[in-house]
Chains A and B, each alone.
Chain A
Amino acid sequence: MVDRLERLTNLVLVLLGDGPPRSLREIADEVPGYPPEGEARRQAFERDKRTLREGGIVVSTAPVSGPDQVGYSIREEDFYLPDLDLDADEQAALNLAVAAVHLGDPSGRDALWRLGLPAPTGARPLAELPHLPALPVLWEALRARAEVRFSYRGQPRRVAPASLRFHGGWWYLVGLDLDKDAARTFRVDRMEGLPVPGAAETGTLPEGFEPTTALAEEPWRIGEGETVHVELLALPEVAGLVEQQLGSAAVRERRRDGAAVLGLEVTNVDALRSWLFELGDHVVVLGPEPVRRSVVEWLESMAGTS
């Protein structure tokens, strides 16, 4: 019985080898370990192809003459990258990047393996970015200028991607919403399910497309709601901290007891409320009345359910 790893290794070497694409019959003759002719052989080969694909190795098909009609090969350009010509210090830099930036899965290490670079050694992390399965799909779509389809806030969207951006702790996709014909920004973690990419070049952007959507740093400005001007009262114990976060330009009034009144533009009231509550009972919304009312009602619904 041939170890499956041995069969796979030989399969890769044979398919990468010289000559025209090989039919399944020829492959089974050349690679030991396939069952005798018949459905079992076909299934074993399909399973091997799937394993290779999951490992990032693409097996191409082409018509060939003879009873099998289909031939298989691994094209050189699908298997190898053009040599990156990395100098020693550049190799070390990529190693550092993978060791010091934690992305929540082993893809970085696998990338170094594939480039033939030594595996990373332990280093104190410099940054941790959230891991989202949608990101590689979106990145691939960006590179292929392919449109992507996904569900967002319960609505199906079709988007020509322009850029992926990590900002303020979140990953965003910026692009042209093809149905609304307008630039839109989407939080990647809010996409419902995995996005589905279209074929290459189906998501090309109009000449000069420059999304002007500036991404807001503050969570309460991320949202498509109407802009509301909100006034907050920060009590003395947190006034300094809140001023530091919102900037001194936000201060409307400094009170003698050390409290401060601050103003800010809000497009996402839910996010504002969440941020306020992180500061406990030291910050209070003064107005406008509808926003104040919504916070009070939220609290009343909690206080009443004891």
Chain B
Amino acid sequence: MTTRPDAGQRLRRLLAILSWLARVGRAPVSELSDRFGIRPEDLVADLELAACCGLPPYTPDQLMEIVVDDQEVVANLGEELARPRRLTAAEGFALASAARAILATPGSDPDGAMARALGKLDAALGGAGRLKVELGDAPHLAEVRGAVEDRRQLAVRYYSLSSDEESDRIIDPVSLVSVEGRWYLDAYCHRAGDMRRFRLDRLVSVSETGRPAEDHGPLPEPATEATPAAFVPGPDATVATLAVDAGGTWLVEAVPVLARKDRRDGRTEVELAVASTVWFERLLLRLGPHAEVLRPKALTGAGAEAARRLLERYRAAG
């Protein structure tokens, strides 16, 4: 059973639909249902209800003029309802920061439609010049962007965190995406035979093969390295249970965890899927004395083992 949205959410959506109808006059039920993410039967019910709303004395001439049948909605609602409405702080911030993020992507037109739209938005909302979104630079960004735009195939050498290896790969770039301040390239990887997400700052070298990128049809969202295979428990993933103290609770924010609960000793118990031992060891190094692996037995010594190996390097370098 799906939960029915509360009256506040229904009102928010109804006002949006009325505002849209006030502009367009008529629209197919199916189109409104898609546009506003509402089931056709709920849409019809809410609009039939709205047709009984208006101003006192609620005589027909004072009600909203909305006619609904199975296929189409016809409305005559006047200009007032078509006017844009004031945004909440969260909505204004979302729109202003999203537009700025697009303008911060390399190659965006500083005088284009987005910049003009943002100018008008800032004029209405205020706050121009006080909100800045920078997506930063990354090694090979310009080169990779060119390859994405012109659909050129690339040969890259990539350092993979989860396998701790460099590998040469032929890839067909699909898109660039900035995730929480880091640039990634989504591409079809010929070695993997599937979509992969590459962190630009782990690309050791990039060159062109001289061939156009191949078209692989609609492709699924790639598995990422920031959200390593680790987070979608695959067949080879092990579930590990850790106890972390206050100094290690950042873990819960930094990696998707399968489960968490508070322990009586004040620590937090966290379950995560581990697909790569290398990745897990590095996570444990960062957590240091703030974490203890409780289960499985095969991994309880992983942190100590990684620490000893790294200490060995320190002795050799010292």
The residue of chain A having its C-beta at the shortest distance from the C-beta of B109 within the complex is: A93
Judge if B223 is at the interface, Cβ distance under 8 Å: no
The segment out of B9-17, B256-264, B266-274 that lies at the interface is: B9-17
Judge if A256 is at the interface, Cβ distance under 8 Å: no
Judge if B120 is at the interface, Cβ distance under 8 Å: yes
Residues in B with CB closer than 8 Å to A303 are: 304, 307-308, 311
Report the bound CA distance from A286 to B101 in whole Å.
39
Report the bound CA distance from A82 to B278 in whole Å.
56
| Contact indicator B126/A143 (Cβ below 8 Å) | yes
Interface residues as binary, A24-59 with B (CB distance below 8 Å gives 1, 0 otherwise): 000001111000000000000000000110111000
The residue of chain A having its C-beta at the shortest distance from the C-beta of B102 within the complex is: A97
| Contact indicator A298/B86 (Cβ below 8 Å) | no
Interface residues as binary, A85-126 with B (CB distance below 8 Å gives 1, 0 otherwise): 111011111101110110101011011111110110000111
Which of A55, A93, A245, A295 has the most CB atoms of chain B within a 10 A radius of its CB?
A93
| Contact indicator B87/A56 (Cβ below 8 Å) | yes
Judge if B131 is at the interface, Cβ distance under 8 Å: yes
Judge if B114 is at the interface, Cβ distance under 8 Å: yes
| Contact indicator A139/B93 (Cβ below 8 Å) | yes
| Contact indicator B201/A244 (Cβ below 8 Å) | yes
Judge if B136 is at the interface, Cβ distance under 8 Å: yes
| Contact indicator B117/A94 (Cβ below 8 Å) | yes
Q: How many residues on the B side are at the interface (Cβ–Cβ under 8 A)? A: 107
Residues in A with CB closer than 8 Å to B161 are: 278
Given contacts A118-B20, A164-B132, A245-B201, contact A139 B7 (CB under 8 A): no
Residues in A with CB closer than 8 Å to B46 are: 5
| Contact indicator B159/A168 (Cβ below 8 Å) | no
| Contact indicator A244/B139 (Cβ below 8 Å) | yes
Interface residues as binary, B293-311 with A (CB distance below 8 Å gives 1, 0 otherwise): 0000000010111111111
Report the bound CA distance from A79 to B85 in whole Å.
6
| Contact indicator A169/B288 (Cβ below 8 Å) | no
Report the bound CA distance from A143 to B182 in whole Å.
29
Q: For chain A, which range describes its interface: under 10, 10 to 19, 20 to 34, or 35 or more residues?
A: 35 or more
Residues in B with CB closer than 8 Å to A94 are: 95, 99, 114, 117, 121
Judge if A129 is at the interface, Cβ distance under 8 Å: yes
Judge if B191 is at the interface, Cβ distance under 8 Å: no
Report the bound CA distance from A17 to B53 in whole Å.
13
Given contacts A55-B11, A82-B124, A129-B101, contact A14 B314 (CB under 8 A): no
Given contacts A126-B105, A169-B181, contact A299 B314 (CB under 8 A): yes
Judge if A281 is at the interface, Cβ distance under 8 Å: yes
Judge if B193 is at the interface, Cβ distance under 8 Å: no
Residues in B with CB closer than 8 Å to A6 are: 49-50, 52-53
Judge if B211 is at the interface, Cβ distance under 8 Å: no
Interface residues of B (CB under 8 A from A): 7-8, 10-16, 19-20, 22-23, 35-37, 46, 49-50, 52-56, 58, 82-99, 101-102, 104-105, 112-114, 116-117, 120-121, 124-127, 129-136, 139, 159, 161, 164, 166, 174-182, 186, 201-202, 204, 278, 281-282, 284-286, 288-289, 292, 301, 303-314, 317
**Can you list 23 pairs linking A and B with CB atoms under 8 Å apart?**
A9-B14, A9-B50, A13-B53, A17-B55, A79-B86, A81-B85, A84-B124, A86-B120, A90-B120, A100-B98, A108-B91, A115-B84, A116-B23, A124-B174, A126-B101, A126-B178, A139-B96, A166-B181, A168-B136, A240-B204, A244-B204, A278-B286, A284-B314
